[in-house]
A = this chain, B = another copy of it.
Amino acid sequence: MTKNANSHFAYAYVRDVLTEQIRSAELAAGAQLPTERELCERFAITRPTLRQALAQLENEGLIFRQNRIGWFVCLRKLRYNPMRHISFLQYAAEQGFQPQTKVVSQEKLKPPQHIAEALQMDPRAHAVHLTRVRSVDERPVLVERLWFNPKTMPDMEQKDLSSSITGILKNDFHLKSLVFDVTVDTTCLLNPHAACLETNEGALGLKLVRVISDNKGQVFEYDEEYWRHDALQIENQATLAFT
């Protein structure tokens, strides 16, 4: 097969050609790519070589796969500021998406040790645990798992958790301010998160952990957010005032 000068490997050439087709909108957002076998024929390469190229486009967040259906050009991303406090439903709607939330489970159980430690709770105690999936335009993009400290947030199993948790902290537990500690890592999505996000096991994802405390450092809530990496763009804004 022929290649241009700056991508002498076959997979790199294919990756660059497809990238340019996506960037120039020759392949439109949401469009299905030709099948793997068609692309192999067109570029005169084998499927392992093609899939190396596709994997890199996938990691770049340019394409995504639907199991046994095909590869698609990614749609626009949800811009997400993990430090803001308006609800998912609100900022997704503001950006022209159609957001949805589905509770997967709510139960009271013993948390893993690292979560018990982060919550500063008795590791033998049970905590209320809420798992929910968020979608935009009927495409699941986020699995979140919330843990509530039984000491600082008692009786959570009796509250309506479909409303704002921040509201519960303010109104039911009378907090005057909250501190959010957030970390972001790349991760490999495993089941059940991968299945909830309708992606295959092993796909790249972003894991966001948020610990919510009061201003005395007492921990109330521990959240894990597993995101499809191709569905969001993290953003933030800060101001530096010179004194």
Query: Which residues of A come within 8 Å of B, CB atoms?
Result: 11-12, 15, 48, 52, 55-57, 59-61, 79, 82-83, 85, 166, 170, 175-188, 201-202, 204, 206, 215, 229-230, 233-242
Contacts and interface: CB of A to CB of B under 8 A. Distances in A.
A179 B238 CA distance: 6
Copies in the complex: 2
Contact of A185 (B61, B179, B240): B61
B186 A204 contact: yes
Given A56-B202, A202-B56, A242 B183 contact: no
A131 B54 CA distance: 30
A158 B20 CA distance: 37
Contacts of A177: 239-242
B186 A236 contact: no
Contact of A236 (B15, B61, B83, B170): B83
Nearest to A239: B179
B60 A182 contact: no
B59 A235 contact: no
A5 to B, nearest CB: 13
Contact of A241 (B57, B61, B166, B176): B176
A229 B188 contact: no
A186 B186 contact: yes
Nearest to A179: B239
Contact of A229 (B181, B186, B201): B186
